[in-house]
């Protein structure tokens, strides 16, 4: 079955710097890759997703890149702000309903 690895497990950056979180997946049939943000005491919330027919997608300060050949995808957050502090999860799916989640990255943005 699908396996998703996520790195790093923790990431600390200064406000205004960029943050990058990387994930790799094992199933070459996976074609949907969402990223979720989880704030303390809340459920995960989708922030951006990408499908395998595109290599990059951007939404304001957030971007996701996908390398199907290498089977990895990354989340890029530019101009980080303290409110970006949260746990971020990547996931992969073969267009079924079963999202396989990575282990999460705790991002801390220091003012």
Partner 1 sequence: DARVTQTPRHKVTEMGQEVTMRCQPILGHNTVFWYRQTMMQGLELLAYFRNRAPLDDSGMPKDRFSAEMPDATLATLKIQPSEPRDSAVYFCASALGVTEQFFGPGTRLTVL
Q: How far is the CB of 75 from partner 1 (least distance, A)?
A: 16
What number of other Cβ atoms are within 10 A of residue 47's Cβ? 18
CA distances in angstroms from 89 to 54, 63, 93, 111, listed in the order given: 20, 14, 13, 23
State which residue, 27 or 49, has the beta carbon closest to partner 1. Answer: 49
How many chain residues touch partner 1 (CB under 8 A)?
20
Would you count residue 63 as binding partner 1 (CB under 8 A)? no
Residue ranges binding partner 1 (CB under 8 A)? 32, 34, 36, 41-46, 49, 89, 95-99, 101-104
């Amino acid at each position: 079955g699908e396996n998703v690895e996520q790195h790093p497990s923790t990431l600390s950056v200064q406000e205004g710097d960029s943050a990058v979180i990387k994930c790799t997946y094992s199933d070459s049939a996976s074609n949907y890759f969402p990223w979720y943000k989880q704030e303390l005491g809340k459920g995960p919330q989708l922030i951006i997703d990408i499908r395998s027919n595109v290599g990059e997608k951007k939404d304001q300060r957030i971007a996701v890149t996908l390398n199907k050949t290498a089977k990895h995808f990354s989340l890029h957050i530019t101009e980080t702000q303290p409110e970006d502090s949260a746990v971020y999860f990547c996931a992969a799916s073969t267009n079924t309903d079963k999202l396989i989640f990575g282990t999460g990255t705790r991002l801390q943005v220091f003012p």
